[in-house]
A and B are shown apart, each in its own frame.
Chain A
Amino acid sequence: MSHDHDHHHHHDHDHSELSETELRVRALETILTEKGYVEPAALDAIIQAYETKIGPHNGARVVAKAWTDPAFRKALLEDGSKAIGTLGHVSRVGDHLVVVENTPQRHNMVVCTLCSCYPWEMLGLPPVWYKAAPYRSRAVKDPRGVLADFDVTLPKDMEIRVWDSTAETRFLVLPMRPEGTEGWSEEQLAELVTRDSMIGTGFPRKPGAPS
């Protein structure tokens, strides 16, 4: 995908509009600061927390543990928030996380048709495509067509289940463990777990595939 193409879709359409937005954002922050509503350093700290503390590595650890620990997998599917809460090394998870399991019979895919609801404490901030009209409009009507945009093909008779995140519940897909990983450690397995595999628009990497 070319840079120009991304630019057209993901940004304001020309530099004058971009700089106008930038100026307006700065002005708003100035006003909020002058009125004593926010401490600018606290805004910096929020951004830093998003940039450093959350990300798909959190979800990947959960998936890898579920692949290796049957008791954890069972607890995770029963109550995602509670099970993840027992893992000290994963960032704090909110309530209402539901983990849904892919099987040879069923593939799960998560969308928010109304806005951009996403389990950010597990996956980080959502990518632009997740929040944009093509995915939000088509995921519920033509999920296989959407998967084709990700070069993902499912067997013809496999059930595909789309979870539209319309409330404060958040959904995380537990993908199937790749073949050829018998005896792998949790740390090794976590390296195979991609963000998209936990949204349901991709699969984990195969052993030996480039990360």
Chain B
Amino acid sequence: MNGVHDMGGMDGFGKVEPESNEPMFHADWEARVLAMVRAMGAAGAYNIDTSRFYRETLPPHVYLSSSYYKKWFLGLEEMLIEKGYLTREEVAAGHAAQPAKALKHGKFDLDDVERVMVRGKFARPAPAPAKFKIGDRVRAKNIHPATHTRLPRYVRGHVGIVELNHGCHVFPDSAAMELGENPQWLYTVVFEGSDLWGADGDPTSKVSIDAFEPYLDPA
């Protein structure tokens, strides 16, 4: 979706402000939110792409004015309601009132902790040969799905070069909408900064994205 989360190339957000001796969490509730998001995902309530989509669909003014973990919290709450794991009445009351919905992987308990501390595996067997090889010129498609996609706006329509082939991976555009993993070839595609930004860009810069095959046409 063409949401405010797709920030690459936007102006006006000001300077980057590194914080010296930054704590891991700025409040205890941030850590609880992180843990709940990881736990409910590992229990099978949603996949990582769906959870990203729920953060992206926060109203733009909320997205832009909320801290990082506030966005995580708001996305989590809405997602759990919409997926039927809790109700708005329960949220308002602050207590469970309805029977639980079964979780695909069952209750998240101590035995599951080690599992969430290892990054998930997203590689899948290839359903078809790769269309592109390293060195090929490709054009990022001019697509504007209203649903989840990982093709940022700033590359759409531009020509780049295939630099790496990462194999077949779960396709976020399908997984986010719970339409299955639909594995697709994944490539690193590199663009010249001057192609992306014209004379306003840095002529010494190159920018790459990781692009799933359905995002690309031969060029």
Spell out A's residues near B (CB within 8 Å).
Answer: 1, 5-6, 9-12, 18, 21-22, 24-32, 34-39, 41-47, 49-51, 53-54, 91-96, 98, 111, 113-116, 120-121, 124-125, 127-129, 131-144, 146, 149-150, 156-170, 196, 201
Contact = CB atoms under 8 A, between A and B. Distances in A.
Interface of B: 5-11, 13-20, 22, 24, 26-29, 31-36, 38-40, 43, 45, 48, 52, 55, 64, 66-68, 70, 73, 76-77, 85-86, 90-91, 94-96, 100, 103, 107-110, 112-114, 116-123, 150-152, 154, 164, 166, 169-170, 172, 186, 188, 190, 196-197, 200-202, 204-212
Contacts of A161: 190, 205-208
A65 B9 CA distance: 36
Given A12-B70, A37-B103, A137 B202 contact: no
A10 to B, nearest CB: 6
Contacts of B55: 115
Contacts of A22: 27-29
B136 to A, nearest CB: 18
A35 B13 contact: no
Given A32-B40, A37-B107, A46-B113, A113 B7 contact: yes
A129 B8 contact: no
Contacts of B205: 143-144, 159-162
Q: Which of B16, B19, B40 has the most CB of A within 10 A?
A: B16
